[in-house]
Structure 1
């Protein structure tokens, strides 16, 4: 059975939706960022600070190479996973790609809860940074098999829409 892979910008709800979706489907849940943190013994923010973004992206690529070989899992990826066409090719080979989207305002509100996002450390430039990065990645997120806006939608609504897509596309049969 194919993996269900959640992509999208930081703060779109990939981890929250992923956990709930995996529970509903009775599948294992994997958060690629958490796996990178665990293997490196430090947070992504610390990885960025000590080794830089290029180092993190390589660790992310190594992790995606392993996770893409899983079967029947729900995988939440980091927001920048789409920057590597190799990552996306691997994930797509054994997975259905679901993009979660949200507005700049929603992302700013959600990501302001914790100061753990290395790309958003400049408080006064956060909106410009989010807007710029989202614009740069927009077309990459659009390559997903299905996309859903999480603005103002409850996690349950988002999961129901994903389930409907998965059933209609033939990825699920009579479950959930």
Structure 2
């Protein structure tokens, strides 16, 4: 069923990183729907090498925030999603990045803000994996703290004309 471009484009165009959240719980139905968006992400060879963690416990959120070098705000989130990929899957990073993006957009469709916190190649990735009891066959790709935004501001983005070339790059 095609709903037209307006809803989808509005969600994509207005999404931005949110690091401060209201103290307002998120309904389980919203979390389930956003996770469903993530699991439907495109994946190489339909491998689906991901595992999604959902953390709501404030003590665990604080521990994750203490581990993540640029994620101290995780402690103030209502929920933090942890996206893991199977280490032996050839395209786990690409696949789990696509799933993270769809999770972000699925949340934003409900007005739930989030901010992608890196996991891949970070020193704390193994500590987060161990904290959450995830098997060693998985590696942390991303953390996604989320909640209703305390305030809304739009970040400046580059003009499309500054980012696109057609057919062959000629420099500017």
Per the shorter chain, which TM-score range? under 0.3
TM-score by length of 1: 0.27
Larger Rg: 2
Q: Which has the higher helix share?
A: 1
TM-score by length of 2: 0.27
